[in-house]
Amino acid sequence: MNSVLYEQTDELRQSSGCRSANLKYVFYSHTHSALTTLNIDSLLQILSKYSNPDDKTKFAVAFSGGVDTVVLMHLMHCACQRWNFSLLALHVDHNIHPDSGKWMQHCANFCDARDIPFCSTRLNQFNPSERVPEHEARAARYSWLKKEIAEGDFLLTGHHKNDQAETLMLNLMRGSGARGLSGIQEATPFGKGTLVRPMLQFTKEQILEYAISRKLSYVHDPANDDLRYDRNYLRHLLLPAMQERWGAAIENISRSAGNLLDSRSLLDELAEIDVFSCRTIGSAYLSIGCQLKLDELRKLNKARQINLLRYWVRNYSIPEPGRQMLNNFLKTTVDGNAEYSEMDWEGYKLYLFRNVLYLTPNLTLKPRKEKVIWNLTEPLVLEHEGIRLVPRPVVGKGIDVKRLSAPVSVGFRKGGERFRMPGRQHSSKLKKLLHADSIPPWERKMLPLIYDDEELVAVVPWRVSDNYLATKQQSGIDIKMELISR
């Protein structure tokens, strides 16, 4: 199977508006027989790998109105009549091009004519006069889409085999490893649901042929012709030249991505084994997932150390730090025998403390000064600190509410606080108690303090003061602390 580069006729070189797919295209490719036919049966065969759809299954299509998503939406509409699942169109107007509103209306009309529910949003954070970075537009689009996908739902995108080739080439130019060069996966977790790319094994030529044969209209974003964008440069200049020289270039690049995906899977399996051997339970309350023992990490060679750390981070849906950044961190921690070290990137931090590695969000280092009144019955959201406090009734532990004189207040350390540990007659400096219990230094100012008037009741979720601790068979309130996304 071979992909295609098409030259648009003058009629198709319009800066905006809807196109009719029965217009002419000039194909520059070697003719060949398609190995797979793009139709309802092939689409259903791909989707059946991830779901057995019924009337409770919801598929949402990221519907831009371009030819790829129009074909996907048309196929899904036909499949819906056979499978009777729920179908929804999700459209994002980036509000960059002056005609973007017309494109949204075209998408709405397409769906209205077929009784497909249509949901759209307009993003206003971009200046129409400025060139928008690809990754920023994609991040904003995906952020909204994730909010619309409920648990068990599927989001479908129109990625195809040519996109796969472009992605591999882009990552090759960035010096990516096996993970980046393995390209786009057919299915990945997405928010509470699953992202599926059911057209990934089909070429752009096949998609265009489908649109032409059914006279489907679609929109064209002129930004897709802007050669200042790396992907467009590859799509319009580099890959066509490669395709002219090597007729099966797109197909072979896609096959290479598949081979590298196998290598990536093996690296992930190795990393999973290494994480299991290194994992431990540290003393932090605001870290993400498990912690890692530095002594065990030192037993691995440098390549496995980096592979382990990137897998560990990725396993919690966190962007991977760069290889050079990890190299520098490992040089300080593993090779340099540092007792404390930290590394931050894209809103997250990696800490070393007392031979344990912790992964955390980039916590607020200056928590609020004022106290917050709390009734201890409803969850309390401390958005500035990125924390949620959730109370729950318990027996034989937690805070004995009968000992409280009034609604409690919640604050944070300022210095000089004293705390009475359970079973002790006298209070001690809280700073020394936290240090002695190996609470990491970056958390000591971030643990919420519960006060009854001016007396310290509890340090959440560490300890309850001996003066307020519920004893056996007494009812108490236990407070769970959760991280919230910001």
What DSSP string runs through 44-68?
HHHHTTT----TT-EEEEE--SSHH
* Residues 205-232: tens digit of each pLDDT: 999 999 999 999 999 888 888 898 889 9
pLDDT, residue 4, reads 28
Tokens, residue 167? 């992605």
* Residues 469-479: tens digit of each pLDDT: 998 888 999 99
- What secondary structure, in 3-state letters, does 62-120 show? ECCCCHHHHHHHHHHHHHHHHHCCEEEEEEEECCCCCCHHHHHHHHHHHHHCCCCCEEE
364: amino acid identity, one letter: T
- Is 382 in contact with 483 (CB distance < 8 Å)? no
Q: How many residues does the chain have?
A: 486
Residue listed under structure tokens 């990516």: 176
pLDDT, residue 127, reads 59
Nearest to 441 by CA among 326, 325, 322, 342: 342
> What does the DSSP 8-state code read for residue 288?
-
User: DSSP 3-state assignment of 248?
Assistant: coil
Phi-psi bin for 423: left (phi > 0), alpha (psi -120 to 50), beta?
left
Pairing assessment for the beta strands 193-196 and 291-293 based on DSSP bridges: unpaired
Q: Which stretches of the chain drop beneath a pLDDT of 50?
A: 1-35
**Distances, alpha carbon 27 to alpha carbons 24, 199, 206, 244, in Å:** 10, 21, 12, 11
Residue listed under structure tokens 């409803």: 378
**Angle formed at CA 417 by CA 411 and CA 422, multiple of 5 degrees:** 95
Burial label, 446 (beta-carbon count in 10 A; 0-12, 13-18, 19+): buried
Tokens, residue 43? 């689409």
How many CA atoms within 13 Å lie on the side-chain side of 244?
A: 10
- Is 268 in contact with 180 (CB distance < 8 Å)? no
Residue 368 CA to residue 364 CA, distance in Å, equals: 9
**Pseudo-torsion of CA 221, 227, 232, 236, nearest 10°?**
100
pLDDT, residue 223, reads 82
* Residues 10-51: tens digit of each pLDDT: 332 233 344 433 332 222 233 333 447 899 999 989 998 998
pLDDT, residue 364, reads 73
End-to-end CA gap in the chain: 46
Q: Which residues contact 146 (CB under 8 A, 6 or more apart)?
A: 190, 191, 192
- Is 359 in contact with 318 (CB distance < 8 Å)? yes
- Is 270 in contact with 304 (CB distance < 8 Å)? yes
How many other C-beta atoms can be found within 10 angstroms of the C-beta atom of residue 41? 11
User: Would the CA dihedral through 218, 222, 227, 230 be positive or negative?
Assistant: negative
Burial label, 86 (beta-carbon count in 10 A; 0-12, 13-18, 19+): middle
Residue 120 CA to residue 44 CA, distance in Å, equals: 26
DSSP element (H, E) containing 182: none
Pairing assessment for the beta strands 217-219 and 18-20 based on DSSP bridges: antiparallel
User: Would the CA dihedral through 43, 49, 55, 58 be positive or negative?
Assistant: negative
How many CA atoms within 13 Å lie on the side-chain side of 59?
A: 29
Burial label, 53 (beta-carbon count in 10 A; 0-12, 13-18, 19+): buried
pLDDT, residue 23, reads 31
> What does the DSSP 8-state code read for residue 16?
S
Question: In order of start, what are the domains of the chain with their CATH numbers?
Answer: 5-259 (3.40.50.620), 281-361 (3.30.465), 372-483 (no CATH)
